[in-house]
């Protein structure tokens, strides 16, 4: 694992300070977040959850000065006018862990996402990896905040999972999150499995799966109503995973006229690669607000799905 730089070390100290203060915050969808903030327009932060969870502006005197210093050292503060400040990072809790991710709203191209899908992804991995023998090497494809690789490594007692992402900002925060979780990681910048030269026997992925008109990398899943990237990453991982290895995919899939095109495509693509597929819906209806957009014309619903691929 590459040593953290000064800014990352400051963020690590921020997480440690929040843990010492008993900080907990479960992050909701952007749509729910917007609705919560609309209840009290212009409200200032009153506590740590407001500052690092709801990401509200705050007065400098309202935050512990050590935590404020860590934010300054990490260059993670924005001026919010009238002497107010706003954190450039949010912090979410998952079990006993804390994860840094991007400020609200996540509109920038290099945003690092954490939300309800992160919790579902973690639960999917924990269920599938329970009692499983540790693989030799894990690759978390499109790792984002690092939640998948970190959760998998801790569940299996395995060191140094490989985290890949096209977004250097994501790898930067993921390295801090991993250090906080006491997991060594290897970071590889690139799309999908580009740049991963070493063999692996477990690949995990939670790809972007929304048909995003702004083509934001953390959100846009490409064609098939956003499932194209999930299909591409999974097939490539199945092609490259060692015999006896597995690919665990958590993603979203648009259901059209009762048919799941991602499932159909995987069932066609995997047998020639000597791979079997176990596939299930985890949640039948997520991100329903997207259905009003032109990209989802004709779509019944978006389902959260989990796929377990095994290579003979």
- What is the distance between the alpha carbons of residues 180 and 16, in angstroms, rounded to a whole number? 8
Reported as type and span, the H/E element at residue 293 is: none
DSSP letter string, 224-282: GGGTHHHHHHHHHHHHHSPTT-EEEEEEEEEEETTEEHHHHHHHHHSGGGTEEEEEEEE
Least confident of 46-50, 58-62, 198-202, 208-212: 208-212
Q: What is the pLDDT of residue 1?
A: 60
Q: What is the pTM of this model?
A: 0.95
Q: Is the pLDDT of residue 309 over 90?
A: yes
Identify whether the C-beta of residue 77 lies closer than 8 Å to the C-beta of residue 87. yes
Q: How far apart are CA 52 and CA 165, in angstroms?
A: 24
Q: What is the pLDDT of residues 26-72, one digit of tens each?
A: 999 999 999 999 999 999 999 999 999 999 999 999 999 999 999 99
Domain spans in the chain, listed from the N-terminal domain onward:
6-102, 116-311
Residue 129 pLDDT > 90, yes or no?
Answer: yes
| pLDDT for the residue numbered 146 | 98
Q: What are the tens digits of pLDDT across the range 252-265?
A: 999 999 999 999 99
**DSSP code of 164?**
E
Q: Evaluate whether 311 touches 238 at the Cβ level (below 8 Å).
A: yes
Asked if 91 and 104 count as a contact pair (C-beta separation under 8 A), the reply is: no
Cβ atoms of 91 and 25 closer than 8 Å: yes
More confident of the two residues 219 and 108 = 108
Question: Is 216's pLDDT higher than 80?
Answer: no
Q: What is the mean pLDDT of the chain?
A: 95
**Alpha-carbon torsion angle 11, 15, 17, 22, nearest 10:** 160
Domain 116-311 coded CATH 3.40.50.2020? no
């Amino acid at each position: 694992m590459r040593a953290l730089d000064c800014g990352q070390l400051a963020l690590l100290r921020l997480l440690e300070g929040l843990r010492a203060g008993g900080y907990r915050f479960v992050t909701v969808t952007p749509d729910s977040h917007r609705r919560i903030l609309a209840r009290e327009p212009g409200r200032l932060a009153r506590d740590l959850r407001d500052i690092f969870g709801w990401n509200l502006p705050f007065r400098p005197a309202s935050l512990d000065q050590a935590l404020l210093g860590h934010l300054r050292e990490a260059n993670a503060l924005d001026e919010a006018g009238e002497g107010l400040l706003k954190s450039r990072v949010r912090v979410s809790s998952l079990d006993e862990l804390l994860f840094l991710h991007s400020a609200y709203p996540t509109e920038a191209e290099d945003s690092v996402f954490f939300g309800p899908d992160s919790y579902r992804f973690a639960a999917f991995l924990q269920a599938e990896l329970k009692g499983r023998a540790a693989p030799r090497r894990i690759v978390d494809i499109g790792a984002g905040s690092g939640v998948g690789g970190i959760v998998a490594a801790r569940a299996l007692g395995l060191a140094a999972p490989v985290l890949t992402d096209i977004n250097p900002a994501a790898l930067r925060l993921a390295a801090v999150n991993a250090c906080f979780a006491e997991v060594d990681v290897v970071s590889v910048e690139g799309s999908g499995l580009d740049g991963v030269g070493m063999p692996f026997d477990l690949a995990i992925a939670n790809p972007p799966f929304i048909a995003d008109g702004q083509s934001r990398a953390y959100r846009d899943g490409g064609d098939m109503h956003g499932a194209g990237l999930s299909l591409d990453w999974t097939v490539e991982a199945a092609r490259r995973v060692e015999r006896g290895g597995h690919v665990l995919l958590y993603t979203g899939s648009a259901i059209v006229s009762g048919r799941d095109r991602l499932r159909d495509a995987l069932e066609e693509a995997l047998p020639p690669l000597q791979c079997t597929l176990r596939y299930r819906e985890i949640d039948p209806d997520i991100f329903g607000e997207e259905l009003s957009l032109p990209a989802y014309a004709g779509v019944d619903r978006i389902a959260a799905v989990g796929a377990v691929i095994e290579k003979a």
